[in-house]
Amino acid sequence: MGKNIVQKILDAHLVSGKPVPGQEVAIHIDQTLTQDATGTMTYLQFEAMGLDAVKAELAVSYVDHNTIQIGFENADDHRYLQTVAAKHGIVFSRAGNGICHQVHLERFGRPGKTLLGADSHTPTGGGVGMIAMGAGGLDVAVAMGGGPFYITYPKVCLVKLTGQLQPWVSAKDVILKMLEIFSTKGNVGWMFEYGGPGVATLSVPERATITNMGAEMGVTTSVFPSDAETRRFLAAQGREEQWVELLPDPDAAYDKIVEVDLSALEPLTAAPHSPGNVIPVRQVVGMPVQQVAIGSCTNSSYVDMVRVARILKGRRAHPDVSFVVAPGSRQVLQMLAREGALAGLLDAGARIMESACGFCIGNSQSPQSGAVSLRTNNRNFEGRSGTKDAQVYLVSPETAAAAVITGVFTDPRDLGLDYPQVTMPDRFFIDDSMFVFAVEHPEAVEVYRGSNIGDPPRNEPLPAEIKGQATIKVGDKITTDHIMPAGQLLKYRSNVPKYATYVFSPVDPTFAERAAANRDAGIHNIIVAGESYGQGSSREHAALCPMYLGVKAVIAKSFERIHIANLINFGIVPLTFVDPADYDRIQDGDELVIPNIRAILGEKALISVENHTQGVEIPVEANLSERQVKMLLAGGLLNTVSQK
């Protein structure tokens, strides 16, 4: 039988394992990327593992998250990143060059290749026909050193696109429609492959908007074919020779097929506080809006920005709306500046931000209390904007621009304007001077370590039994932003003891102190959670910092892919309730014992959790590969790699 695109790329990169859905396989990684917020820990771990030169074809280190630089911490981290990159042969993308996913797509994304990134939106690269996946920094460090990446061989869903987008409806509405269909949970173990006649109507940046937000559904990644449109994009980026055609075989099979008629879509929005709360814009028309923020790795391409500029041409931002624009890359910003669209945005009253993550990660532009904020980014988790009671709605650039003019939620089709026809240019403005490529004498480079940078902490081997407390019990869909918030705290990413004092602070500000006290008294901490634990970001700090506080196990109804891998990488045992109803048989603070865990972990048998407070025994299971069991016994990946 023929192969689909996912199978073609994965099978060409298979290192070991059987390409059967549900089985663990090892995949060779061609390219890696990191950003500064995950990057410092990635490279510290790369160094701690004793890995020397980079073996991946290409490794790029971006600085895009922590560019606020209030205090010395961010700038010190940037210097560490630049020097460690120079020493090991990593391409360094300087602050100001743009958001990692946007820039990587522009300058390095290649059809048919694999990309592993220490950021959950790495699947943006699927827009150009690569298998691009997010992972924790430790996994990226291993891949940089030439080691394989382990995934569950995916089930593949074909998303058959038909028809054509109508004026004022754009790629963001396609992915919001997908989120309406699939929601943010229950998709672990799947990859999405886009196909059908509608594909040819979408440019690569539009495709990238769609694959970017696949992350919100929890799929491992999403991929588009590499076709004539892909070739046109690469040619416009001066890289046509890197094009290869990549289509499914005519008799390719899929585990599921869904059809989305592009012609039938309308402007959509994800209402607070989940990207899965999708409703039509027309349901909220008229709601006053206090902030509009356009940018992020989802919607900050040249076409997105020019379209907004054209819609706003000759118009002004409503006086009640704070209007923020962050072009996704220096390339986009330079083109806007050279072609005059930037002046148009300024005329309209835009507050132009650096080409960086900025408002998306809540480290700037927090809206006023209780504000309705329309944003073109991909996540609207409660408090992520930096304002706990803000109401963040995720929208397309068109819907965002409409609200800038009117000051209220507006279906852009009701503006009564002609839809500005903006197409991808035949040639982008290319200037790679903000990259630092290989230096001449890497051995002579001295790695700079500011006082904010500490050694990555290591776990101890798994104890014979876990004996402690349900230190916290949380509900469904707990995101890594709940576990380890970012925003203003981002500057502590390289300083685990400090950052760890904020674990679970949005949910229970007493957690970190209680957990540390337990740890110091020899009491193990156990987290109890509902469905889909660990949604969202790839940040390994959501496992690393709890590990530092003495968390030994998480018992949940279900886990998200990247987070469960991070827990195992740091030696925290992920356990799943056999009967989800047993979640109700553990209360906050209960005394729990998991006897003999070390001996039975690899036996694929049921594991019993004794709840001494309630006097019950609860069966749980650990679905682990042999490799994962070894890692947990050793107390994490860092210990197993160093043992080798």
Structure token digits, residue 353:
């931000």
Structure token digits, residue 393:
């709605």
Pick 126 or 636: Cβ nearer ligand SF4: 126
Show contacts with ligand MIC in window 17-46 (CB under 6 A): 37-38
Beta bridge partners of 133: 116
Q: Which of 30, 36, 65, 411 is catalytic?
A: 65
- Cβ(274)–Cβ(381) below 8 Å: yes
**486 is an interface residue for ligand MIC by CB under 6 A:** yes
Pick 137 or 196: Cβ nearer ligand MIC: 137
Residue 441 known to be catalytic: no
Pick what 99 binds: ligand MIC, ligand SF4, none; C-beta below 5 to 8 Å, kind-dependent: ligand SF4
Among the listed ranges 5-13, 356-364, 506-514, 625-633, the one in contact with ligand SF4 (CB under 6 A) is 356-364
Pick what 40 binds: ligand SF4, ligand MIC, none; C-beta below 5 to 8 Å, kind-dependent: none
**360 is an interface residue for ligand SF4 by CB under 6 A:** yes
Q: How far apart are CA 45 and CA 640, in angstroms?
A: 13
Q: How far is the CB of 67 from ligand MIC (least distance, A)?
A: 13
Residue 539 known to be catalytic: yes
Indicate the pairing of strand 91-93 with strand 58-62: parallel
Please choose, from the candidates 546, 553, 556, the residue with its C-alpha nearest in 3D space to the C-alpha of residue 475.
Answer: 556
Beta bridge partners of 226: 246
Residue 379 known to be catalytic: yes
Show contacts with ligand MIC in window 524-563 (CB under 6 A): 536-539
Structure token digits, residue 541:
């700090």
Q: How many residues bind ligand SF4 (CB under 6 A)?
A: 10
**565 is an interface residue for ligand MIC by CB under 6 A:** no
State how far the alpha carbon of 161 is from the alpha carbons of 171, 207, 264, 492, in Å.
12, 12, 11, 43
Q: How far apart are CA 112 and CA 361, in angstroms?
A: 30
Residue 481 known to be catalytic: no
**99 is an interface residue for ligand SF4 by CB under 6 A:** yes
- Cβ(428)–Cβ(332) below 8 Å: no
Among 36, 119, 398, 411, binds ligand SF4 (CB under 6 A): 119
- Cβ(189)–Cβ(22) below 8 Å: yes
Pick what 387 binds: ligand SF4, ligand MIC, none; C-beta below 5 to 8 Å, kind-dependent: none
Pick 91 or 586: Cβ nearer ligand SF4: 91
Residue 119 known to be catalytic: yes
Pick what 538 binds: ligand SF4, ligand MIC, none; C-beta below 5 to 8 Å, kind-dependent: ligand MIC
Residues 6+ apart with CB under 8 A from 644: none
Residues 6+ apart with CB under 8 A from 291: 321, 322, 323, 324, 365, 367, 368, 371, 372, 373, 374
Pick 134 or 635: Cβ nearer ligand MIC: 134
Q: Which of 379, 449, 541, 561 is catalytic?
A: 379
Q: Which of 36, 77, 119, 411 is catalytic?
A: 119
**361 is an interface residue for ligand SF4 by CB under 6 A:** yes
Q: How far is the CB of 288 from ligand MIC (least distance, A)?
A: 27
Among the listed ranges 14-22, 114-122, 431-439, 611-619, the one in contact with ligand MIC (CB under 6 A) is 114-122
Residue 88 known to be catalytic: no
Show contacts with ligand SF4 in window 370-399 (CB under 6 A): 377-378
Pick 174 or 361: Cβ nearer ligand SF4: 361
DSSP letters for 158-173 = EEEEES-PPTT--HHH
Pick what 618 binds: ligand MIC, ligand SF4, none; C-beta below 5 to 8 Å, kind-dependent: none
- Helix H segments across 237-318? 302-312
State how far the alpha carbon of 134 is from the alpha carbons of 122, 279, 534, 563, in Å.
5, 28, 14, 10
Write down how long the chain is: 644
- Cβ(102)–Cβ(128) below 8 Å: no
**299 is an interface residue for ligand SF4 by CB under 6 A:** no
Backbone angles phi, psi at 36, to 5 degrees: -65, -35
Pick 99 or 335: Cβ nearer ligand SF4: 99
* Strand blocks (E) in 327-386: 351-352, 372-375
Pick what 377 binds: ligand MIC, ligand SF4, none; C-beta below 5 to 8 Å, kind-dependent: ligand SF4
**What's the sign of the alpha-carbon dihedral 134, 139, 145, 146?**
negative
Pick 297 or 549: Cβ nearer ligand MIC: 297
Beta bridge partners of 131: 114
Q: In the stretch 258-297, what mask flags binding to ligand SF4 with x, by CB under 6 A?
A: --------------------------------------xx
Show contacts with ligand MIC in window 262-281 (CB under 6 A): none
Question: Could you give the angle at the alpha carbon of 631 between the alpha carbons of 156 and 467, nearest 5°?
Answer: 110
Backbone angles phi, psi at 449, to 5 degrees: -125, 105
Q: How far is the CB of 110 from ligand SF4 (least distance, A)?
A: 20
Residues 6+ apart with CB under 8 A from 406: 318, 415
Provide the binding-site residues for ligand MIC, judged by CB under 6 A.
37-38, 65, 119-121, 134, 361, 486, 536-539
Provide the binding-site residues for ligand SF4, judged by CB under 6 A.
99, 119, 121, 296-297, 357, 360-361, 377-378
Positions annotated as catalytic residues are 64-65, 119, 379, 537, 539
